[in-house]
Amino acid sequence: MQRMFKATNVVLILLCAMYFISYIVRQSVSTAMLDIRPEFGLSNTQSLFIFSVFGYPYLLFQIIGGMTADKFGPRKTLFYSGLVWAGATVLTGLSTGFLSLIMWRILMGFGVGATLPTATRAMQYWVEPRKRGFAQGVTHALSRLGNALTPVMTVALMAAFTWRGAFVVTGLIGFVWAAVWFWYFRDDPKEHPSCTKEELALLPHAPKGPRPKVPWGPLISRMWPVTLTYFCYGWCLWLYLSYLPSFFKDTFSLSNQDAALFSTMVYFIGAIGNTTGGIVSDKLLHKTGNVRFARICVTVIGFTAAVLWLIPVLYVRDMTVVAVCLAGGFFFAECVIGPMWAIPMDIAPKFSGTASGLMNAGSALAAILSPVVAGYATDLSGDKQLPFMLAMGVLMVGALSSFLMHPEKQFTEELPTGAAARPAPAE
C-alpha cells in the first residue's frame, strides 16, 4: 500500500483526476444540449457551435499555457487554470441564452487550454523516461473515462437538479481538485518531502536557474509534423465528443437516457485504447530501442484501423452494429494518444510544455472546425453519416503525416538551425 501511494504515483493520480474532471466539464455541454437545445430553440449548427467556440481560446492557450508552465512551473499554472475552468462550469449553469453560453464556453477554453501542456511539463520530471508512453496513455485514458461517464452522469444530474444544477455540481468538484493540487504538488521532485531517494534516482533532473529562451523557429520546424498529425486525431476526437449523443438520439429516435448509454459505451472503449496504445509504444521502445518505430508504428496502425472500423457506419443502419463500429473506430483512434503525447518529451525535454502546446494546438484547431463542420454538413444535407465520412479522410491524412515526425532526434536550443540533432535516449 505504501508503495502504491509513493509521491510519484500520487502525482500521477492527481493528474489523472485532473484529466478526468476537466474532460467532464468540457464535454458535459454536449449531453446537456439535449435539454438546452429545445429550451433555447437552437439549430444543430448553433448547438455544435457552442461546443466548438471553446476551441478558440483553447487553441490560443496551448502555446501560452505551455510557455507559462515552462516559466512559472506546473504547480501554479494548473492551480490558476483549474480555478478558471471550474468557475466557468458553474457560470454555464447560470446561462440565459445562446450568447451567454458562448461567453462561458470561451472562458472555459481559456482555463482548460493550459492544462494538457502543463500536465506534460509536470510529467517531464515526475515520470521515468521509460514510462512516458504509459503515463500519457493512462492520464488520457482517465480523460476518456470522463468522456464515457459524462453522458450518464450528466443525464442523472439533470434529472436531479436540472441541466443548470448539473454544471454547478461538476464545477464545485473542480474547485476541490485545484486546492488539493496546490497543496500536494511541487515543481521539483527533490523539494517534495515524501519523494524518496529511490524515486529520485529514476527521475530526470530538473535544471536549476532561469529557463532558457524558447528558440521558436527551430522548435516549430521540428514540431509542425507532430501538430499536423495531432490535428487529424483531434478532428475525430471532437467529432465523437460533440456529435455522438445527438447522432444516436436523432438517428435512432432514442430517449436522452438511451442516447447517453450508447455514447458512454463508445467512450469507455476509447478509454481502453488510450492505455493500450501507450503500453504498446513503451514495450516496443524497450524491446527495440528505436524511439521513432515505437511511436510511429502505433500511431499509423491506430489511424488506419480507425478508418477501417468506420467504413460500415456509412452503410449499415442497425443500431447495435453502428455502435460497435463506432466503438472500434474510437478505440484505435485513441491508441494514438500515448505515443503522440510522449513525442514532445522525446523531442524537446527542456521545452516539453511549449512543445506539447504546439502539438495540442492542432487538436484545438480541430475542436473549432470539426463540430461546426459536422453541424453544418448535417443541416445542409440531412445525412447524419456524412461527418464520419469526412473524419475518415482526415484520419488517412494523419496516417500519412505520421511518417514526417522524428521523435528519435532530440532538440536542443544550442543547435543552430540546420545542425544535426542528437538522437533521443532510448531508456
The residues, any chain, with a CB within 8 Å of residue 93's CB and separated by 6 or more, are: 163, 164, 165, 166, 167, 168, 171
Confidence of residue 206 (pLDDT cuts 50, 70, 90): low
Are the C-beta atoms of 244 and 260 separated by less than 8 Å? Answer: no
What's the pLDDT tens digit per position in 288-332? 989 899 999 999 999 999 999 999 999 988 999 999 999 999 999
pLDDT confidence band for 207 (50 / 70 / 90): low
Residue range 220-240, pLDDT digits in tens: 888 999 999 999 999 999 899
Q: What does DSSP assign to residue 422?
A: E
Residue 369 has pLDDT above 80, yes or no: yes
* pLDDT, average across residues 27-44: 85
Q: What is the mean pLDDT of residues 55-61?
A: 83
| pLDDT score recorded for residue 421 | 47
State the pLDDT at residue 124.
77
3-class DSSP state of 197 = helix
pLDDT tens-digit map of 266-294: 988 887 887 788 889 888 988 998 989 99
What cell does 50 get? 457552442
What angle do the packed helices 98-113 and 74-92 form, to 10 degrees?
170
Q: Is the pLDDT of residue 416 over 60?
A: no
- CA distances 179 to 189, 192, 244, Å, are 19, 17, 33
Cα–Cα distance measured from residue 200 to residue 286, given in angstroms and rounded to the nearest whole number: 21
Q: What is the pLDDT of residue 413?
A: 53
Q: What is the DSSP letter of 95?
A: -
- Chain centroid to Cα 208, Å, comes to 30
List C-alpha distances in Å: 16 to 3, 97, 136, 353.
Answer: 18, 33, 10, 17
Local structure of 300: helix, strand or coil: helix
Sorted by sequence, the CB contacts under 8 Å of residue 181 that are 6+ apart come out as 14, 18, 75, 78, 79, 82
Please identify which residue in the block is written with the cell numbers 530526470. 204
Cβ atoms of residues 74 and 122 within 8 Å: yes
pLDDT of residue 377: 86
pLDDT of residue 414: 47
Query: Which CATH number is correct for 7-190+216-415, 3.40.50.300, 2.30.22.10, 1.20.1250.20, 3.90.380.10?
Result: 1.20.1250.20
With a cut of 90, say whether residue 88 has pLDDT above it.
yes
Mean pLDDT throughout 389-394? 95
Going by pLDDT thresholds of 50, 70 and 90, the confidence category of residue 3 is low
26 with 89: CB under 8 angstroms? no
pLDDT bracket for residue 425 (50, 70, 90): very low
User: Between the CA of residue 45 and those of 101, 379, 380, 389, what are the distances in Å?
Assistant: 14, 7, 10, 18
Domain positions in the chain are 7-190+216-415
For residues 96 and 343, give the distance between their C-alpha atoms in angstroms, rounded to a whole number. 43
Q: Which helix (H) or strand (E) holds 409?
A: strand 409-410
Residue 187: pLDDT above 50? Answer: yes
How many CB atoms are located within 10 Å of the residue 14 CB? 18
Identity of the residue numbered 109 = G
Rounded CA gap, 333 and 300, in Å?
10
Asked if the model's pLDDT at residue 82 lies above 90, the reply is: yes
Structure confidence by residue, pLDDT tens digits, 114-150: 887 888 788 878 888 777 777 877 887 788 788 778 8
- What type of residue is 76? K
- The answer, yes or no, to whether residue 410 has pLDDT greater than 80, is no
pLDDT digits (tens, 9 = 90+) for 373-387: 888 888 888 888 899
pLDDT score recorded for residue 231: 96
Q: Is 420's pLDDT higher than 50?
A: no
Region 193-208 average pLDDT: 75
Question: Which pLDDT score, from 0 to 100, does residue 419 have?
Answer: 43
Helical spans, DSSP H, in 289-417: 291-310, 319-334, 337-347, 352-381, 386-401
Residue bearing cell 443541416: 379
Beta partners for residue 422, in sequence order: 410
Residues with Cβ within 8 Å of residue 369, at least 6 apart in sequence: 52, 55, 235
pTM for the predicted model, two decimal places: 0.73
